[in-house]
Amino acid sequence: MSRRFGWFTILCTLIGCGPAPTPPTGSPSSTSPTSTEVKPAPGSSNPEGGKKFRLAVIPKGTTHEFWKSVHAGASKAAKELGNVEILWKGPALESDTDGQIQVVQDFVVQQVDGIVLAPLESAALVSYVEEAAEKNIPVVIFDSGLDREDKIVSYVATDNRKGGELAAMQLAQAIGNEGDVIVLRYKQGSESTYQREEGFLECLKRDYPNVNVLTSEEYAGTTPVEALEKATQVLQKYRDEIDGIFAVCEPNATGVLEALNEQGLAKKVKFVAFDPAVPLINGLENGTVHGIVLQDPVQMGYTAVKTMMEHLGGKQVEKRIGTGEYVATPENMKEERMQKLLKPEQFGE
């Protein structure tokens, strides 16, 4: 995962859930997948001798900070291994499922040695993953799951349901364990954010009987601009009732924070986000954000590539591999571990 409001316009040039900002000037359109690494010719060799494996790593998008950190982790693994080339390519926007499908199909035609994929939709990508497997191209899924996993090597991801539960606990604490809250969903078909949404709702229902959910059926969309518009509508409707709000991924959260500021509800309405961005981190410091659920995207990219290479080397790998979930708060955000997760390494740095 252009802007119209203040710093929001500047931010669009800096960042890209799990929903995505408009690409910077000169970036491909959402229908034109982008690649940031040059592909080697088929059959290229390791300079030290032996086969050079070609792994296609396909993110949900290429403009979000999150994916740039996944890219950094994948590249780190490739550098350590020495015998693998990362072919990084994906759609510019996380709304472009057709574009991602085309990328998968292109890599199948190229007969890469393996595909490492973060599917935009849990159902739409199943048949294409199965097609790759039928052509002896193994697939590791990361970040977001598929409806069917029998044909994949492994699933490497955050426990997104647990992440949603952590968000619920943090928001409930922020509002004193009672009050009215809203969860803004991301996009239908996105498995990772669905798990966050359901984990959040289940935790509140189970553990916080005095916290009422005003609405959980609104979809904020895949970009900060869409989220700003939807959040503005929702906040105007419930402004006299709402005590807290949860946004399930970084682009949504960025738009929600802008809406809270514009509506004069920042600080008054407690706000928990999922995944960091500069304005959200600033919000932890100035009291407009009350928690950010964090993943480890660098570790996710690193582990996904290492898992694929272990499989290609004949090793047995775990079917599901977790990469951790954490909560940054105004109280702990300065801790070294939290700083690394709030500002993870990005590819090219």
Q: Do domains 31-158+296-324 and 160-294 have the same CATH topology?
A: yes
- pLDDT tens for 274-326 read 999 999 999 999 999 999 999 999 999 999 999 999 999 999 999 999 999 99
Q: Which CATH class is domain 160-294?
A: alpha beta
Tell me the angle at which helices 297-312 and 65-81 cross, rounded to the nearest 10 degrees.
40
Comparing CA positions, the residue from 254, 132, 253 lying closest to residue 185 is 253
Query: Which letter does DSSP use for residue 291 in this model?
Result: E
pLDDT, position 11: 33
Query: Which letter does DSSP use for residue 244 in this model?
Result: E
Q: Are strands 53-58 and 244-247 parallel, antiparallel or unpaired?
A: unpaired
Confidence tier at 349 by pLDDT (50, 70, 90): confident
Confidence tier at 15 by pLDDT (50, 70, 90): very low
In this model, does residue 199 exceed pLDDT 70? yes
**Rounded to an integer, what distance in angstroms lies between the CA atom of residue 81 and that of residue 273?**
35
Kindly report the average pLDDT of the chain as a whole number: 88
pLDDT, position 65: 86
CATH architecture label of 31-158+296-324:
3-Layer(aba) Sandwich (3.40)
Phi, psi of 51 (to 5 degrees): -75, 140
pLDDT, position 348: 85
**Cα angle 193-100-28, degrees, rounded to a multiple of 5:** 105
Q: What is the mean pLDDT of residues 92-111?
A: 96
Contacts of 64 (CB under 8 A, 6+ apart): 1, 15, 16, 17, 20, 21, 94, 250, 251
- pLDDT tens for 208-218 read 999 999 999 99
Are 152 and 320 in contact by the 8 Å Cβ rule? The answer is: no
Confidence tier at 13 by pLDDT (50, 70, 90): very low
Confidence tier at 23 by pLDDT (50, 70, 90): very low
pLDDT, position 63: 83
Residue ranges per structural domain of the chain: 31-158+296-324, 160-294
pLDDT, position 275: 95
Comparing CA positions, the residue from 92, 95, 145 lying closest to residue 117 is 145
